[in-house]
A and B are shown apart, each in its own frame.
Chain A
Amino acid sequence: MRQTLAAVIGLEIHAQINSKSKLFSGASTEYGSSPNSCVSYFDAALPGTLPVLNKYCVKAVVKTALAFGCHVNKVSTFDRKHYFYADMPAGYQITQYRKPIAVGGEIDYIIYVRGRHKKALFHKARLHQIQLEQDSGKSLHDAVNNRSLVDLNRAGIGLMEIVTKPDFTNGEQAAAFVREVQQTLRLINTCTGKMEQGALRVDANVSVHIPGEPYGVRTEVKNLNSLKAVQQAIDYEVERQKNLVLNGVKVENETMSFDTTNRCTVPMRDKERLQDYRFMAEPNLPPIVLQEGHSTSPHMLSIEEIRAQLPELRPLTVQRLLGYGLSAEHVGILMELGLHSTLIEMLSLSSSEPETVSKSMYGFLYDNVLKLAGDLKITEEDLLRKVLVKDLVELWSAVFSGQITLLSSRAAFKKCCKKRDKKSFSLLLNAVMTLSYNRIEPSDAIRGLQSYLHSVM
């Protein structure tokens, strides 16, 4: 019976747009500002204030929609969604309900964790829609004094809500998908993707059923703010619902939150029955109008002009890397860690054919970067930001031609990365190349390097 029950999962991803000012006001969106210091009269819902739409936010959501293959509506409208909560001072959120800016679309993603999977799996999930809306403020709960402290700095920041179809069956798929969305948003530069800052937050709708039968009653697990939480919360909730069904207990339609310490889902305190949001057309905002071809007005952006600004998108990069002879598993790792662009740049700087050296470069990058990033406790991407790709190619070719060992390249790499700026890396690299011309022990290389440094500095 347990085996026959299948989970059905859909996601709502809230991505904060990385604009300087808010969606409808000129207040700053700077993360970590002093409480209530980035609040305009409009954000505080003072009577008589009106929304003025941010061009950057419209551009960002169109860019995102195009990157995910959505159909972009040339006319889209705003609606009010009413609810009463202290962090939403107007008593409603301006969102897009009847006619969102984008519908449809699908996203390819790869599931591969070394050690857990034998093979990389290529998946696809469909999108339902993307809508533009306001973020809410933040409440801090002061349990001692029985009150909420409200900070409206976040209130009114532009959000893209990316709603998927119920295309996932477990937490691992959902987490891999969110990672793909995060990487794409960073690539096209519409959202920082920083989950630890709340710039990307996920709600998961979870239900279980016997395949072929109608979907079960679903619960919504809200505000998942790390990839780990996405995976763990969903897996826990699926098991919880399966146990209920197996024991003949009905699953209740409720809102849950995820307790990261005890790794379990718990019902939220104000358990609402079916909420009545009393949607109505937003009377203070005309529709967003987009143009297909050349833009004839600064207030009507061109879809084609925005499309032309998109960089090479990740699915194409995957195909390119596979074409260079790398395995699906290697490509999966490169795409996950964000090492792919460095590898491609290295290939373009090297005079050798990509097919003949791609595997060697992959090994060089993987062994050095992954290990060093771990040692230095920084992300792989941050580590790569410290070095020039042309230096990497030089170092790699010294290894490839047998001049130095992979091990001494790592020692050199490590020493060099501790130097912050790119210029000194080149200098140090030269020193290493000169000193470790023949294969020597890394400790010798470092000693040599130190004496060299003494002589030049």
Chain B
Amino acid sequence: MISDYDPNDHHKLQGDLSRLYRWPKENNMNAASKVPSKSVWKTVPKSDDYQTPELSDELLRYIERTSLVKFSNEDGIKQLQDAIEFASQIGDVDTDGVEPLYSLHETEVAYLREDEVTEGDRREELLSQAAISVEELYFSAPPGNVPLDQTGDLGKTK
């Protein structure tokens, strides 16, 4: 599909995007923005009571299964622990009396499009993106979920 790229489509896509939301004026990215133009990095000191969490084999297997990422070697576990430590810093922020924000668009209104068939007859093109297809009609997938190896020696392989 990359080969079909047409720079004019880019504008069309932007047009399509703007149909999605009714952007309020103050959100206009061209206006004086609160987003800094360069990345800003500040290290937060580790809080005194932070303890590196214990990650049991059972928990690791569980995270591997739900994330479908196999990472349980020494490096992988170290990375996960660092990530947990980094993320837990957010707990240090004082949020008393602040209403939770679920989504940046929660004060917007969903755009409603008319019920018309405008797309969809692209079987050949879509199946050409699939690793395996069957009879030029179907995508092919392994039967059911593929179970991860439940017996691997966690944390011992390099």
Contacts and interface: CB of A to CB of B under 8 A. Distances in A.
B70 to A, nearest CB: 14
B124 to A, nearest CB: 9
A148 B112 contact: no
Interface string A274-305: 00101001111111110000000111110000
B117 A20 contact: yes
Interface string A22-47: 00011110000011111111011010
Given A27-B120, A58-B112, A286 B126 contact: no
A21 interface: yes
Interface centre among B20, B110, B121, B134 (most CB of A within 10 A): B110
A299 B137 CA distance: 37
Given A40-B119, A50-B17, A299-B22, A151 B138 contact: yes
A285 B109 CA distance: 9
B3 interface: no
Interface in B111-128: 111-123, 126-127
B7 interface: no
Nearest to A56: B115
A270 B112 contact: no
A85 B119 contact: no
Interface stretch (B76-84, B91-99, B139-147, B150-158): B139-147
Given A77-B103, A287-B109, A148 B142 contact: yes
Interface residues of A, number: 61
The B interface, classified by DSSP as helix, strand, loop or mixed, is loop
Contact of B103 (A85, A283, A301): A283
B120 A52 contact: no
Contacts of A269: 144
Contact of B105 (A19, A54, A148, A285): A285
Interface residues of B, number: 42
Given A52-B20, A86-B141, A281-B103, A287 B108 contact: yes
Contacts, number: 152
Q: Could you say which of B111, B112, B119, B145 has the most chain A C-beta atoms within 10 Å of its C-beta?
A: B112
A447 B141 CA distance: 63
A40 B144 contact: no
Interface stretch (A139-147, A169-177, A341-349, A366-374): A139-147
A108 B122 CA distance: 45
Given A41-B119, A287-B105, 17 more contacts: A26-B118, A26-B119, A26-B120, A38-B121, A39-B123, A50-B16, A52-B20, A52-B111, A56-B114, A56-B115, A77-B106, A84-B145, A270-B144, A284-B20, A286-B106, A299-B22, A301-B112
Interface of A: 19-21, 25-28, 34-41, 43-44, 46, 50, 52-58, 77, 84-86, 98, 139-143, 146-152, 269-270, 276, 278, 281-289, 297-301
Interface of B: 16-17, 19-22, 66, 68, 102-106, 108-123, 126-127, 129, 134, 137-145
23 contacts: A26-B118, A26-B119, A27-B120, A28-B120, A35-B138, A38-B121, A39-B123, A41-B126, A55-B113, A140-B138, A141-B143, A143-B143, A147-B134, A148-B142, A278-B66, A282-B103, A286-B111, A287-B108, A287-B109, A288-B110, A289-B109, A299-B111, A299-B112
